[in-house]
Amino acid sequence: MFRMNKKGIELIKNFEGCHLRGYLCPADIPTIGWGTTVYPDGTKVREGDRITQAQADEYLEYDLKNKYSGYVKQSNIHEKLQNSNEFSALVSFVYNVGRGGVHIPNSIFRRIANGENYKKVVAEELPRWTLGGGRRLPGLVRRREAELELFFSPVGREDTDLEISLNEVSGKVGQFQKDLNVWLSAWNKNTLKADGIFGTLSLAASNDFARNNKELENEKGVTAAVLAKVKTYARNASPETPKYNEPVESRIFARGEDVQLSENFHLSEFTCKCGRCRNQPIDMKMVEKLQALREVMGVPLYITSAYRCPTHNRNVGGASQSRHIVGDAVDISVGNLNWRALVAEAKRIGFTGIGYGQHRGFIHLDTRPHSAEWSY
C-alpha cells in the first residue's frame, strides 16, 4: 500500500498555486487554496471566499487523505503500482481531473481491465487530459508531463530510507518504538514493547501519533514524515512535558456551586451533564482563553459540552483519552457563527486542540500540551 509522497505534494502545489481568496479556475470552477473546490464540511467554494494559509494547507491535507488517495486506491490500476512515485503521480492526476480519470467509463480503467500493461496505458492516456472549458490548456500539458516524469522516476533514497513496513524486524524499528514511547508516555497512553518488531500495535500507535500531528495515516507502514516527527519529538521532550491528563492550571469545583468563572462564563456551563458526579475539574487557563475568544468574536458562545466524568464520557461515545475528562475542553455551538473565523481566532489565542464538527453543529476546542486537529 503506497502513500502520497513529498514529491507528489510539491507537484500539486507547484501547479495549483495557493490562493487565499476564491476565484474561477480556467475551467470556470470556483476554487480556493491549493485547488480546493469543496470545503471539508461539504460546502462549495464561492468566488470571493477568504481563508488563511493554515486553512489552505489543512484543506489540501484533508482532500488528499479523504478523497483523492482513495480514488486511486479504489481503481483497478492500484494493484499494479510498484512504488510511491507511481501512486503520487496518479493522485496528482485525479486531484486535477477528478475520480473519473481512473474509473469507469474512461480508457485507463477499460484498458487495465483488458490486461494491457499499466505503464503503457498511463504513458498514452494521461497526455489526452489537457482540455479545460473545451480548449487545450498549456498549463495542463505541462502538468501531465510533470506527472509522467514523476510516474516513471525511480524511487530515491529519500523516499525509502526512513520508511518502516508492517512486519519489519530491525534495529531501526526498535529505536522508532523507543522514540514513540516518549510521546505515548507523555500523553498517558499504553507504551510499546521495544522489541524491534513492527506489528499491528506499533502501527496503531504510529497512526495515533500521525492523527495528532497532522500527518497522513497509513495501512501498512510508517512514512518518512511520521518517523522524522517522532524522532524530533523524542529528542525535544523533557521531564517537565505535561502529561495528557494533567491540565496546567485546574481547579476542582463542587457540582452546584454558584461561581462566575469569568465575565461571560458561569460554572454551570462547564458542569458534567450526567447530573450525578460531584467534583468538576476545570482548567482555568482554558476559561481565560475562552473569555478572550468571546470578546474578540463579539457574540455569545454557547457551550454544548465541557467537563465529562469518565462514566458520562463513555455513555456519550467520547474517546477514552478525551480532553473533556480532564476539564480543558469545550464544544462550541456554531449555529449562525462563522466557524472559520472562530477557529482562526481560537488558534491565535492559543487553543491547541481543534476538532472540526461544524457539519454536526459544533467546534471542539481544548488546551492540550501539543497541537492537534481532526474532523468528526
State yes or no: is 147 an active-site residue.
Answer: no
Candidates 218, 175, 224; CA nearest to 200 is: 218
In the set 16, 86, 215, 373, the catalytic residue is 16
Candidates 323, 313, 173, 140; CA nearest to 247 is: 323
Helix (H, G, I), strand (E, B) or coil at 283: strand
The DSSP 8-state label assigned to residue 65 in this structure reads I
Residues with Cβ < 8 Å from 339, sequence gap 6 or more?
Answer: 358, 363
Cis upstream peptide for 369 (omega within 30°) = no
Which cell is 315 given? 455513555
Amino acid identity of 87?
A: F
- Does residue 267 contact residue 252 with C-beta atoms inside 8 Å? no
List Cα–Cα distances, 296 to 28, 293, 334, 342, 353, in angstroms. Answer: 36, 5, 15, 9, 19
Q: Which residue has the cell 523533557?
A: 238
Which cell is 287 given? 476559561
Please state the length of the chain: 376
Active site residues: 16
